[in-house]
Amino acid sequence: MDKRLLDILVCPLCKSTLHLDANQHELICKADRLAYPIRDDVPVMLVDEARTLSADEIL
Q: What are phi and psi of 29, to 5 degrees?
A: -110, 105
CATH code for the structural domain at 3-58: 2.20.25.10
- Of 42, 35, 41, whose CA–CA distance to 18 is shortest? 35
The torsion of the CA quartet 29, 34, 38, 42, rounded to 10 degrees, works out to: -60
Amino acid 19: pLDDT: 95
pLDDT in tens, the chain (59 residues): 788 999 999 999 999 999 999 999 999 999 999 999 999 999 999 999 999 999 998 86
Amino acid 13: pLDDT: 97
